[in-house]
Amino acid sequence: MDYASIFSETVKLFALMTPPAVLSAFLSATRDYEQARKKATARKTSLAVFIIGMLLFFLGDRIFSVFDFTLDAFRIGAGILLFLTAVSLMNETPQKSSFPTEEDISVVPLAIPLCMGPASIGTVMVLGASAADTAAMITGALALLLASLGIYAILHFSEAVEKLLGKTGMAVLSKLTGLLLSAIAAQVVFTGVRTFLK
């Protein structure tokens, strides 16, 4: 088992899930929640992210065949959406959440579209469709599991993370995530264009 590949894919997927944006929304929306409800929301959000990610990962190639577009075309489209996500993170300013406190926010909007937005959905589908063998499929599935556990961890310990980082730290983390996503977006688009031209 290639642990370096698992680590690399986990970091990439975790960054794609835009943890600073998810954490900020979670903190704002659950400010008046009891601790038990906060923990339950964190569990349900990470579980929803994992289930959605696994479905897209294993069914991505079938979706490509149904809609009759190539993997490279999808790479380019996903890369562009990912770059737009990176730009929005770079320009993001903290805003007070308007989520209804009486509703369950774990699936919508936390899992979708904050964690699994268009860019992360596209990237997961590309990752699954481009997996060449069983080892690559296992690597991708483990990376999705670990990234989902990472989302659970930051939501479960959200108050501690907020205290540790403070407003300035949260802003810096958001910008760094944006920079990382822009680099991933450039690589995805470059790979799609290069393969298409061949």
Per-residue pLDDT at 182 exceeds 60 = yes
Left (φ > 0), alpha (ψ -120 to 50) or beta: where does 18 sit? left
Cα separation of the two ends of the chain: 31
**Exposed, middle or buried: residue 134 (CB in 10 Å: 0-12, 13-18, 19+)?**
exposed
- Full-model pTM: 0.77
- Give me the number of domains the chain comprises: 1
Per-residue pLDDT band for 92 (boundaries 50, 70, 90) equals: low
Q: How far lies 146's CA from each of 69, 175, 198, in Å? A: 30, 23, 34
The mean of the pLDDT values for the chain is 84
Dump pLDDT digits (tens) for 98-120: 455 557 889 988 898 789 877 78
Domain that holds residue 63: 3-197
Is the per-residue pLDDT at 95 higher than 50? no
Q: CB of 137 within 8 A of CB of 129?
A: no
